[in-house]
Every structure is written in C-alpha cells, then in structure tokens.
Amino acid sequence: MDSTLRRTWAEIDMDALAHNYETLRKRIGENVKFLGVVKADAYGHGSVQVSRLLQESGADYLAVSSIDEAVELRHNGITMPVLILGHTPKEEVSELIKNNITQAVTCRAKALEYSEEAVKCGGTLKIHIKVDTGMSRLGYLCDGDYFESGVEGICEGCTLPGLDAEGIFTHFAVSDEFGEEYESYTKHQFELFTSVIDEVEKKLGKKFKIRHCANTGAVARYPETWLDMVRPGLLLYGYGDFAQELGLKPVMSLKTTVSTIKTYPAGTAISYGGIYKTDRKTRMGVVPYGYADGYFRCLSNRYELMTEEGPAPQRGKICMDMCMIDLTDKMNVDVGSEVEIFGKANPIEHMAQLAGTIPYELTCAVSKRVPRMYIKDGKVYEKELLLRG
C-alpha cells in the first residue's frame, strides 16, 4: 500500500546499508560468512528490501524470529538461507522443509518433536543447535555441572532422523559492554562454546559446517570469536558507538512536517496535564508525530526535533498523533517545513539515551502507519505503507 500523505515518514538509505555491509564484509574477511539479522521487519527498516539488498550483495545467511517472517521473505523472492532464531510449532515443520528454512533447536524436547515431524512428512529439516553459554535464555545448558549432559543432548539432537545439523551457535550477553568483568564473561562464554563444539565433534566424529556466535559487540571487539560466520545486528544498520568507530552510516531517518503554527502569550498551558507553560510570547508548532507513531511519551518535554534552523524543543505531553515544538526563535520554519525526528542531523543515540533504551527499540517502535521511503542514489525508488490496503 502506498501513502500519498506527507505526514510523518521514515527514509531508508539503501546506499548507507550497502556501505555498511561492504565495510563489515571487509572487516571480517573473505573466509567468514555474513549473516544479516532481519527479524522484526529488519528492526523497522523493511525486511524484504533489506534482505533483497543483502542477497544481491553476496551475504550468506539471514536470520528472523519466526516462520511467518521467514515465509514472507520466500514469498518475496528471497532464496538465500534463512535461520529462524525463535520458536516454531512442530506442526509447521513441513512448511519449513518445503521452503528450505533452517530452524534453531534449543533443547531435547524440540529436537525430538522436530525429528518426529520431519520423518512423518518424509523430509529433512536443516537445523542449527543453540548452546546456552550464559545468556540464560534459549539453548542447551552446558556450563558447570551441565557440561556432560549438555554435550550428550546436543549429540543426540545431531543424530536424530530427519534432522540435518548444519550449524551450532550461541549468543553473547555482554559483548557490547565495557569493563573487565564484562570482558571476562564474554571470554568465558566463548571458551565454553568452543569446548562444547570440540567435545561434540569428537563424539560425533564429524565437524559442524557453520559455527557462529559473534553479534554486534563481538564483531566490533572480539575478532577471535568470528569463527565461520558473524551475526551483526545494530552495526548493519549503522547505530551505536561501534558503528561510528567503524565508519558506518545510519540507515533510517525519521521525518515529519510542521502542520500548524500558533502564537501564545506567556503563561499558556500546552497539551495534556499542563506540565509546560510558556514563559514568554511563544510561537508553537504542531507536528503530526505522536506515541502512536513510536514517539515514547516518557520523552515529553525532554527531546528536541531538528529543523533547518537548528533544534526545536518539544513542549508539553506527547499526544497520540501529534506533539508541539517551540519555534519562537526559528522564524523561517513555517507550515510545511520539514523536521527531522532522528537521523543524520539528530542522532538516534541521543534519543535512546534520553529514553533509557537502545536504538533498536526506537527503530522497531516506528509504527506501521509510518510509510517507509526507500532511497538509492538520492532518489525514492520504492514506497511502502504497512497498513492494510
């Protein structure tokens, strides 16, 4: 569905995405595979468009969180390998096999039911075994007293009928954090992971084709963890301190326009609750960007949107569909003027810091009613609105 409204929109810079991929590819070298994480609609950037570029650029794998996300890619011409990181009901195994989708296996129960279903439908399901080395979420427990039983469980999963254990992986919990404690924890996770792999391969008498554990923090800081494949997330989209250090570019810019301007006398209460009152004669602009678009209400009266004349403080409580910005000192900003919410001139990292969160949450929060404009060579070549047509 196309949008004809110039209300609030996200610009997705595909040239920046291509630059980030090429930069990261050069960093890891030719002998390490590249997995692009495109779950949650590529963190709000558009999974089909991002996957298409990665496929054309020569990436090796994609990762999603569910079978619905994986099948969406298949239905839109994405033929490269896709790994589902999350849960898939056993009833969907035939669909996984039909669409050549790889499934993460995180415990004995999953391995058994996936094997049973694969045998029933007469096919083979490609799997990647997940090891819990300290994230304490999904995966075979292998630390401490669980090492032997974890190894045995993984070996069992790798030899069940109907399953093809192509890969094995784990997830680092603090690889993006600084400090001796965090570095020690990450190194422990990596050492445990490699010990598990060594023991499993020894018992099975064969090696995994793909061993992977390096997320964004590890790609930036721990080259020894790259192994056969890396899984950069935040880095691919050009956000965070590591991205800046590596010369990567932010892919998404969120923009809006000024829809109304009114002038109020000193002492005028602005928006719900009257938490802000003008302290002078104030030229106040209304922009069609509110919490239903993804603007966290906790940022009320705390954030600044970027105009052509510089930052304009947001005033009063953020509403569902709009908010107010102070334009008193920006007389050239008028109705229809473009305003950047975050992007190249107004870094998303600042917004994330004020909101007490990470850039991921902000890009994922950009709602489906905000159209995405895909830009290449400075021109919009595709528009997408996720609302039902």
- pLDDT at residue 78, as a whole number: 98
Q: Please state the pTM of the whole predicted model.
A: 0.94
Residues 9, 253 contacting (CB under 8 angstroms): no
**Is 369 domain-assigned?**
yes
320 labelled binding-site residue: yes
Residues 201 and 268 in one domain: no
221 and 263 share one domain: no
Let me know whether 317 and 207 are in one domain. Answer: no
| pLDDT score at 241 | 86
pLDDT in tens, the chain (389 residues): 455 557 999 999 999 999 999 999 999 999 999 999 999 999 999 999 999 999 999 999 999 999 999 999 999 999 999 999 999 999 999 999 999 999 999 999 999 999 999 999 999 999 999 999 999 999 999 999 999 999 999 999 999 999 999 999 999 999 999 999 999 999 999 999 999 999 999 999 999 999 999 999 999 999 999 999 999 999 999 998 899 999 999 999 999 999 999 999 999 999 999 999 999 999 999 999 999 999 999 999 999 999 999 999 999 999 999 999 999 999 999 999 999 999 999 999 999 999 999 999 999 999 999 999 999 999 999 998 877 66
Domain count, the chain: 2
Residue 296 lies in a domain: yes
Q: Which residues are catalytic?
A: 39, 272
User: Which of 208, 236, 264 is the endpoint of a domain?
Assistant: 236
Position 16 in a domain: no
Q: In this structure, are residues 233 and 248 in contact, taking their beta carbons and an 8 Å threshold? A: no
The answer on 184 and 74 residing in a single domain is: yes
Q: Classify residue 108: in a domain, yes or no.
A: yes
257 and 198 within one domain: no
Residue 93 sits in the same domain as residue 124? yes
Which residue, among 91, 46, 48, 49, has the nearest Cα to 70 in the 3D structure? 48
* Domain enclosing residue 159, as ranges: 32-236
pLDDT of residue 387: 74
Output the CA–CA distances (angstroms, integers) from residue 321 to 8, 273, 276, in the order listed: 10, 16, 18
> Is there a domain that residue 21 lies in?
no
Q: Are residues 71 and 197 in the same domain?
A: yes
Tell me the CA distances in angstroms from 236 to 103, 159, 247, 248, 366, one per residue in order.
23, 35, 11, 8, 18
What pLDDT is attached to residue 326? 98
> Is 173 inside any structural domain?
yes
Residue 246 resides in a domain? no
* Domain containing residue 286: CATH number: 2.40.37.10
Q: Nearest-5° angle of CA 323, CA 329, CA 334?
A: 60
